[in-house]
Amino acid sequence: MPTKDYPSEKFVRSLIYLPYARIAVFEYPQILGNGQASWYAYKKGNYAASPDFPKGSRLRIFNSLKPEKFVDVEINDYGPNRDIHPDRVVDLEKTAFSKIASLGEGTVKINILPLYIAPVDGKVLGVPAKGLVPGLNINSPSAVILNANSGKIIWAKNSTTSLPIASLTKMVSAKVFLDTNPNFKEVVSYKTADEEYNYKYANKWEIARLKVADGETMTIEDLFYSALVGSANNAVESLVRVSGLTRDEFIARMNQAAKEIGANSANFVEPTGLAPENISSAQDYALISSKVLANPIIEKASKTRTYNFTTINTKIPHYIKNTNPLISSNGIKVTGSKTGYLHEAKYCLMTKAENENNKVIVVTLGTPTRTESFSETKELIDFGLSNIQ
């Protein structure tokens, strides 16, 4: 579990959301958790070099003197040399350093909170990375089952690890858009400039999009359902444009909404999910889903199997099919859903399901294959609905 060390007070702090658990605390004295950090200029971004944590690990770096200032970084290099700098915890790329201190300071006193420690040869700091839970053998690197009625965690695997969430982002975009009180029957014109934002992250032929031309007209409802049912990225950007907010304001409200919900691991840099920097933990995204799906408009759209419309001025028909086949499964009553995929994120899936009076929300992140994403989600739904106490 992500754990923060308080060496002067002689205790560590970690959060657990399970109703009960046995916890063992181990000391790993070879790792330096508190000390100094300097900066360097190479491969611009929120990156750091560490002699303790393997590449791909993610750390939250706090300014010890100003703990309200912190930055989440990914380890992408080795260093500093502890023989020369024995108190140096990490070196931060200057972009990350500037978020917690002035570059002119040269060094800053820090402490760290490991968010994710990348395994090496199947082990995390020498401990086997995989564990077994009776009745479940889930390959997805991060997953959670949430009791949607009580808010309690039924089962979890690496559920507090922050990972890219791809198009799961669109659920938050939908919430922010509805908060602007749009008129779903309003007719709007499509602008090809909207989709230009998408191409900053992927080529035109690689992404899900609504195939309409500049100037074609449709209702806001058509755009909304295209975004949630078909995961059309350009439709999301069109919604942002017609929301009355600037794009920066819209994204800021997405982050604000996540924080108000209590999903502190979530962060969004754009509204579609095409950016791998859009992240959340599975646990926090389950919490987001619980709140967002309370809106009946979002719930209805997310579980709609197909949506058809015709552009108003050009009379061209469009047929939108939901990207989650579990919605059409006879054995599961799905009441909310969103799929996502990026090369960096792999397959991501959120599904809310129920039987009788029991309701669960299942989130899987980073699943290697599409087939596995759906099969493991179904397994988790069945397990969750059978183990609600």
* Length of the chain measured in residues: 389
Q: Across the strands, what pairs with 146?
A: 153, 361
* 59 within 8 A of 72, measured Cβ to Cβ: yes
CA distance 367 to 146: 18
Q: Parse the chain into domains and list their residue ranges.
A: 32-128, 142-386
Token output for 172: 């938050």
CA distance 2 to 14: 6
**Domain 142-386 = CATH 3.40.710.10:** yes
What type of residue sits at position 140? S
CA distance 363 to 349: 6
* 48 within 8 A of 90, measured Cβ to Cβ: yes
CA of residue 238 relative to chain centroid, distance:
22
Angle at CA of residue 259, ends 257 and 260, nearest 5°: 65
Angle at CA of residue 28, ends 22 and 30, nearest 5°: 170
* 30 within 8 A of 52, measured Cβ to Cβ: yes
Q: Across the strands, what pairs with 274?
A: none
φ/ψ (deg, to 5) at 334: -85, 130
Nearest residue to 184 (alpha-carbon basis) of 217, 219, 154: 219
CA distance 97 to 245: 31
Neighbours of 15 (CB within 10 A): 10
Separate counts of helices (H) and strands (E) for the chain: 9, 21
* 7 within 8 A of 31, measured Cβ to Cβ: no
Token output for 176: 């922010």
Q: What CATH class does 32-128 carry?
A: mainly beta
Q: Note down pLDDT in tens along the chain; length 389 residues.
A: 767 777 777 788 887 767 777 777 777 777 888 999 999 998 899 999 999 999 999 999 999 999 899 999 999 999 998 889 999 999 999 999 999 999 999 999 999 988 888 887 566 775 555 544 456 789 999 999 999 999 999 999 999 999 999 999 999 999 999 999 999 999 999 999 999 999 999 888 889 999 999 999 999 999 999 999 999 999 999 999 999 999 999 999 999 999 999 999 999 999 999 999 999 999 999 999 999 999 999 999 999 999 999 999 999 999 999 989 899 877 789 999 999 999 999 999 999 999 988 999 999 999 999 999 999 999 999 999 988 87
* 204 within 8 A of 150, measured Cβ to Cβ: no
Question: Dmax of the chain from CA atoms?
Answer: 72
pLDDT at 357: 81
* 108 within 8 A of 63, measured Cβ to Cβ: yes
Side-by-side strand order, sheet with 358-367: 153-157, 142-147, 358-367, 346-355, 333-342
Q: Across the strands, what pairs with 110?
A: 35, 63
pLDDT at 40: 96
Neighbours of 346 (CB within 10 A): 22
